[in-house]
A and B are shown apart, each in its own frame.
Chain A
Amino acid sequence: MAGTSAQAATVVGTPLPLIGKSDTKPTWCPGCGDYGTIAGIEMAVKRLKIPSHNVVIVSGIGCSSNLPHFLSSYGFHSVHGRALPVAEGVRWANHGLTVIATGGDGDGFGIGCGHFVHSMRRNVDLTYVTMNNQIYGLTTGQASPTSMMGQKTKSTPTGVIENPIDPISLALASGATYIARGFSGDVKQLADLIAGGIQHKGFAFVDCLSPCVTYNKVNTFDWFRQRVYKLESAGHDPSNIVAAWERSLEWGEKVPTGLFYRVEKPTYEDLEEVLSAGPLALQPSGLKGREALLDEFV
């Protein structure tokens, strides 16, 4: 049985410390897009006034996956590609917590792509923020699943010959219920999208274009600034899935940002009957007094 301190922890009476920077300074390259993303996450969580001890940020491995270390919430810096299943486990253990998964494009759309698809079809109520820089940074510049056709990298010296994954269309196909694209060059918009994702009941996916200033000389801040436009200013209706599909296919001359699609559907936690009795971590456990259970073996 859970003790009193945990129960107290879920009751927000007196104001408790909000999320802030931790005593570990980010180690990203100067100018890295990830600074914009972490600022967006911090702003969003602060705005929603969620106490830092009720937030868990789960990441995989890669430059961007170091992110949990730089904020004051609970964090789980797991292994490459596995942020989502760890985050799902945390969420099911205690669905009173706000769970945010973070990571890069290699982490989420390469080695972890299977989990990406499955966690979306489950509509787990968590927010997944990817820092998509279309390159492997921490391993010093190989092609990633989102590198564009023809891009020359250390592992593709004559250019990429595979089509890139489009995370937005993949999310639409997989059943995510909140699908957005942000840009770390626009922290205000990004914070709005992340805050909307955290408030959304269900799987919220925010793909953040987060340029690598060291290894990706193609998809730079300037490259994006010349191309991005906001979906809401183009009159896009995020409740229209057909329109969302059309917008998700735009990439090149114009790159849309903002909310592509949002729909209300029951979450995995809503449908998992056991969780209707409250967070699993606070429920009783064991078989004391359930001796009748043995009757089935007679």
Chain B
Amino acid sequence: MAELAIRAGGAAGDGIASIGETFSRALSRMGQHVFGLNAYQSVIRGGHVWFQARASSAPVHSQGDAFDLLYALDRQTVDIHLPLLSRGGTLVFDPEKFAVAESDLPAGTRSLAVPTLEIARKFTPQSILQNAAGMGATAFLAGIPLATLHQVLADSFGKKKGEIVDWNLGAAAEGYKFAQDHAPANDHAVAPSGPPKLLMTGNQAIALGAAAAGLKFLAQYPMTPASGIMHWMAAHAHELGIVVKQAEDELAAIHMAIGASFGGVRSMTATSGGGFALMVEALGMAGMSEIPLVVVESQRSGPSTGLPTKTEQGDLNMMLGAGQSEFPRAILAPANILEAYHATIRAFQLAEEWQTPILLASDLHLSENYMTVDREAISFDTPIPSLFSVEPNGGEYKRYAYTPTGVSPRSIPGQPGLQYIVGSDEHDEKGHLISDVKSGIPIWVAERTKMMQKRMGKHDGLLAATTDPLIEGSETPELTFVAWGSTVGAIRDAMGLLTAQGRRTKLVAVETVFPVHGAALHKHLGHGEKRLLVESNYSGQLGRLIRSETGLDFPTTLLKYDGEPFYPMEIVGRALEVMNDGGH
């Protein structure tokens, strides 16, 4: 079997996330392509959480639909997930914890009753070792070598040594052996398929990209699903020489980041929709005062507090309109973890080159889930130019000098002879405000117009400096998908399934959401093709944006706003519907 998915479920506090990460990492070390979905709730204990680790020797772009192994830590997991277990799949559970009747098993599936608690008790009365035993049994079924599982488990304890590590390894080995001795014929196992890959979350990729781009200052206020960026950065702050500041609120976070950028370091803030709503005024100040700034907006289900641990792409309208009046901005929306790394670096370059805020749109599905990347795909050789590029020439320094591109030479505090005042008020070329005694006076009215045109002139520069949509799939498609952000992953998998059925589809993945790349969109759309807009929101916000800028419309859509990520099969289903009857 070329592909395998393991699902593990239990209550919050059972350690499901670390079980899922352990499987994902072990499979990644075997050279498998992995996608790991961590489905959790806004509770610390109890409730129901589950993790799906999907692996294949070929690239995987989403959590997939089916799963072949189900490791259930509680009866609720059986009730919720067992009916969905693939034919030929195996349920792993401990009969000491709960019973599973033969009649509970869907046709063509089987179960393996593993005495995980009994194994655990051989080492210590604490029941937590049951997970190691259960993982050992499941790993055997998955084809994960015991040595690989042992190494991943040992590494998860870091430098910690001693009996707790030994117990875990021992329990895993016993679970593994139990499965070896008792498992029915097993056809789920995957085999090593290449050198170990890197496994990371979107948040880790964003943090790594920011550090590679020269980030020196991160200010953030905790908010799911963006907090992981701060966690990774804080853990590496001393080693990398990056100041990480947990601010008192998002207002402070973004203003600190703007102050630090003005002060001469590359800086960033990250948040989700609720926090971004608080940052809106400051975003405009960065635009007005032409201060480079990267803001990560990792979306979750809204409106308001919404579903804090569930995904959505509902904040595009807010990102487009954030801030009073108008100022130039770009919104980049990476679709997967490797793209998130590169897009973050690009965001820093754009912010600096165009001296304006750049938004990196992520979402919970991208930020918090795991995906493998090839080690050689990550380079740390990004050039990082000095920010102290302006030299005093003895003449008059104009911080906001008019230039053909709209970008003016920016001095850094501490540089002699280049002092200026940053103004959130409208100002002239020197930064002097023209908002009070000069406002309304004809020559200053003209100056205001000119200054607005200078700033807004950067829009064309940003358009030229950002990427066209990514085009994939058939050149003679029966259907063209249009999507942005993490939704693209499930579409890529769906396209693979459709190709296997002999259907031809194409993907237009919009990585630069703004400025809208109208010419490229017209090149690939609007030629009488059937197209399907796929977004994780109610109203099709990207579709509306494209229509408003290009006239291209999207009568057929697949919109989802239940908080759950897209699954390939639901896209396949809708695509077939549209291809077969053109259905609306």
Contact = CB atoms under 8 A, between A and B. Distances in A.
B424 A79 contact: yes
Question: Which residue among B243, B247, B282, B437 has the maximum number of chain A CB atoms within 10 Å of its CB?
Answer: B243
A103 B321 CA distance: 29
Nearest to B215: A285
Interface in B472-526: none
Contacts of A2: 264, 386-388
A161 interface: no
Contacts of A298: 25, 28-29, 196-199, 375
A114 to B, nearest CB: 6
B251 interface: yes
Contact of A88 (B208, B259, B389, B421): B259
Interface in B81-123: none
A288 B383 CA distance: 9
A290 B416 contact: no
B32 to A, nearest CB: 13
Given A6-B414, A281-B264, A281-B387, A87 B259 contact: yes
A73 B415 contact: no
Interface stretch (B68-76, B170-178, B233-241): B233-241
Contacts of A233: none
B251 A85 contact: yes
B384 A89 contact: no
A91 B413 CA distance: 11
B421 A288 contact: no
A258 interface: no
A115 B248 contact: yes
Interface string B376-416: 00101110101111011000000000000000000011111
Interface in A6-47: 6, 8-10, 16-17, 22-24, 27
Given A5-B388, A97-B413, A285-B214, A61 B259 contact: no
A51 interface: yes
Contacts of A3: 386, 388-389
Interface in A252-284: 272-275, 277, 280-281, 283-284
Contacts of A273: 238
A89 B259 contact: yes
B255 interface: yes
A68 B247 CA distance: 25
Contacts of A24: 432-433
A75 B422 contact: yes
Contacts of A56: 263, 413
B262 interface: yes
B384 A1 contact: yes
A235 interface: no
Contact of B416 (A53, A66, A76): A53
B216 interface: yes
Nearest to A284: B241
A92 B199 contact: no
A15 to B, nearest CB: 11
Contacts of A283: 216, 241
Contacts of B243: 92, 272, 274-275, 280
A199 interface: no
A150 B282 CA distance: 35
A289 B380 contact: yes
Contacts of B282: 79, 82
B433 A66 contact: yes
B169 to A, nearest CB: 19
B245 interface: yes
B388 A286 contact: no
A89 B256 contact: yes
B262 A90 contact: yes
Given A69-B433, A89-B258, A297 B199 contact: yes
A189 interface: no
B107 to A, nearest CB: 40
Contacts of B215: 285
Contacts of A92: 217, 243, 245, 256, 260, 263
A181 interface: no
Contacts of A96: 414
Given A5-B391, A27-B437, A85 B256 contact: yes
Contact of B255 (A23, A54, A82): A82
Give the bracket for the number of chain A residues in contact with chain B.
35 or more
Contacts of A234: none
Contacts of B265: 93-94, 280-281, 285
A239 to B, nearest CB: 29
Given A85-B252, A85-B255, A285 B421 contact: no
A151 interface: no
Contacts of A285: 214-216, 241, 265-266, 384
B89 to A, nearest CB: 29
B213 A86 contact: no
Question: Which residue among A27, A82, A118, A289 has the maximum number of chain B CB atoms within 10 Å of its CB?
Answer: A82
B416 A51 contact: yes
A86 B256 contact: yes
B339 interface: no
Given A27-B436, A88-B256, A89-B258, A79 B248 contact: no
A193 B371 CA distance: 57
Nearest to A57: B421
Contact of B413 (A4, A90, A288): A90
Contact of A78 (B25, B28, B285): B285
A291 interface: yes
Contacts of A286: 211-214, 380, 382, 384
Interface string A108-124: 00000011011000000
Contacts of B421: 22, 68-69, 74-77
Given A6-B264, A89-B259, A274-B238, A74 B413 contact: yes
B413 to A, nearest CB: 4
A58 interface: yes
Nearest to B199: A297
A273 B238 CA distance: 7
9 contacts: A5-B388, A72-B419, A92-B263, A93-B217, A114-B251, A280-B243, A280-B260, A286-B211, A298-B29
Given A54-B414, A285-B214, 13 more contacts: A3-B389, A52-B419, A53-B418, A82-B282, A86-B256, A89-B259, A93-B263, A114-B252, A277-B241, A281-B264, A284-B241, A287-B208, A287-B382
Shortest 10 CB-CB distances between A and B: which pairs?
A89-B259, A93-B263, A281-B264, A85-B255, A86-B259, A75-B421, A89-B260, A3-B388, A89-B256, A297-B198
